[in-house]
Chains A and B, each alone.
Chain A
Amino acid sequence: MAINWFKYSAPTTFYGLAGKLIPYFAWPAAILFAIGIYIGFFVAPTDATQSEAYRIIFLHVPASILSMFIYLIMAGYAALGLIFNTRLSSMMAQALAPTGALFAFVSLWSGALWGKPMWGAWWVWDARLTSELILLFLYLGYIALHASIEDTRRADKASALLAIVGSVNVPIIYFSVKWWNTLHQGATIKMSGTSMHIAMQQAMFAVMAACWLYAIAVALARVRGIILEREANTQWVNDLPEVKQMNGEHS
């Protein structure tokens, strides 16, 4: 069976496809999140040294990993848009930025809440924390730069450059705990396996999968909005039943 994948790189067709796909990501996200949080709070045992406070990892670790991954995906889309001049790629990059910023913020915030009782400080300027803060600023900078340029094509190009240059920061975040002395601990889940208790792992991976699915669902919903906004003057948008209905209400 031959599928013409390029068909869906056109905003016109992708708009409908994205709308159909959203529930398939949103519902599993909600269910997996509920399962993960349930295991995390009621099944996973307490930690020997940190007692209950360690449970922040069930949110903190997925949020941190997602904030880094989403940045790389966003930069990838931005690069595709820049190289191939595909409209949808730039729209996807723009759609991913707020979700990435949200995860970076959750990562920093949950980390601070954990840091005060465990380390004794809300914040330290160690390499891991500082580079994650820079990641949040890169997201906010990307969003602000895009919003500050009137012409969307030029906004896409300028912010794509920022996104691509900023991607240098992601490996720095990841390896910071190896390269330098940091207060932040090293990775618990390594390529060679993990020492974590099985229920702790289950909770963390369930929430991580939920965050992935949530990010995809939200990005698809947002890209639909962006498509409508950018193509507002075209015939196909005006022919959409939902747009017709809305225009009918107005008149």
Chain B
Amino acid sequence: MTPRQKRMWFIVAGLALVAAAVGLVLFALQNNVSLYFTPTQVYNKEAPQARSFRIGGLVEEGSLRREQDGLTAHFKITDTHKTISVVYKGILPDLFKEGKGVVAQGKLEADNVFRAEEVLAKHDENYMPPEAVDAINKAEAAKAADKQTGASSAEYPVAK
């Protein structure tokens, strides 16, 4: 092997080793690297007990309720499998909405209610003008109406 090839293999092997080491470290730290736990993980007691942690999921539709003081909000975080009730006193971010992503930091109390100190909205990867969202909503409403009447939008009348 020429010195040039030797240097090349040294770099390739070194890079592979470093990548493997970093990969193993990250794999071992998997739960610590993740920003939040899902409600299912909380139910399975994978989340820390009696210590602050974050829950992430969707705000359940129809679960948001505000108290008279205008600051305290009650809502439920769901991963569509399990659901956790959350209480939060403070200003909710602009993107906070029912059916949208949310990450809350706080503690799980004995009554299984999550007392949040901080609530962050999680945005999804879709960028759409309002008209497009309207169109999608209308299409879905039409689909639902079709289902009720028994007709399917995919089928069209064929002459027999």
Segment at the interface with B among A6-14, A175-183, A231-239: A175-183
- Interface flags for A144-171 (1: CB within 8 Å of B; 0: not) read 0000000000000000000011011000
- Interface flags for A109-135 (1: CB within 8 Å of B; 0: not) read 000000001111100111100000000
Q: A79-B11, A120-B120, A127-B35 are in contact. Are A185 and B125 (CB under 8 A)?
A: yes
- Interfacial chain A residues near B26, Cβ < 8 Å: 172, 179
Contact status A47-B34, CB under 8 Å: no
Contact status B34-A127, CB under 8 Å: yes
In residues 86-143 of chain B, which contact A (Cβ within 8 Å)?
A: 91-97, 100, 103, 118-133
CB distance from B76 to the nearest CB of A (A): 18
Contact status B33-A127, CB under 8 Å: yes
- Interfacial chain B residues near A172, Cβ < 8 Å: 22, 26
Interface range, B side: 35 or more
B66 within 8 A of A: no
Contact status B103-A47, CB under 8 Å: no
- Interfacial chain A residues near B91, Cβ < 8 Å: 120
Q: A47-B129, A197-B128 are in contact. Are A182 and B35 (CB under 8 A)?
A: yes
CB distance from B5 to the nearest CB of A (A): 9
- Interfacial chain B residues near A45, Cβ < 8 Å: 129-131
Where chain B touches its partner, the secondary structure class is: mixed
- Pick the most buried of A48, A50, A124, A127: most chain B CB atoms within 10 A of its CB: A48
Residue in A117, A125, A185, A200 whose CB lies within 8 Å of B35: A125
B151 within 8 A of A: no
A54 within 8 A of B: yes
Give the complex CA separation of A180 and B18 in angstroms: 21
Interface range, A side: 35 or more
A57 within 8 A of B: yes
Residue in B19, B92, B125 whose CB lies within 8 Å of A186: B125
In residues 21-67 of chain B, which contact A (Cβ within 8 Å)?
A: 22, 26, 30, 33-38, 56
Please give me the residue from chain A that is nearest to B27 by CB atom.
A179
Contact status A185-B22, CB under 8 Å: no
Residue in B19, B30, B97, B123 whose CB lies within 8 Å of A180: B30
Contact status A118-B95, CB under 8 Å: yes
CB distance from A133 to the nearest CB of B (A): 14
A221 within 8 A of B: no
Question: Other CB < 8 Å A-B pairs besides A50-B123, A121-B120, A167-B15, 13 of them?
Answer: A48-B129, A48-B133, A83-B8, A119-B120, A120-B92, A127-B34, A165-B15, A165-B18, A180-B33, A181-B34, A182-B34, A183-B36, A183-B120
Q: Provide 21 A-B residue pairs closer than 8 Å at the C-beta atoms, listed in order of the A residue.
A: A45-B129, A45-B131, A48-B130, A79-B11, A82-B7, A117-B93, A118-B95, A119-B93, A124-B120, A125-B35, A167-B15, A168-B15, A181-B35, A181-B36, A181-B56, A183-B120, A185-B124, A185-B125, A186-B125, A187-B125, A197-B127
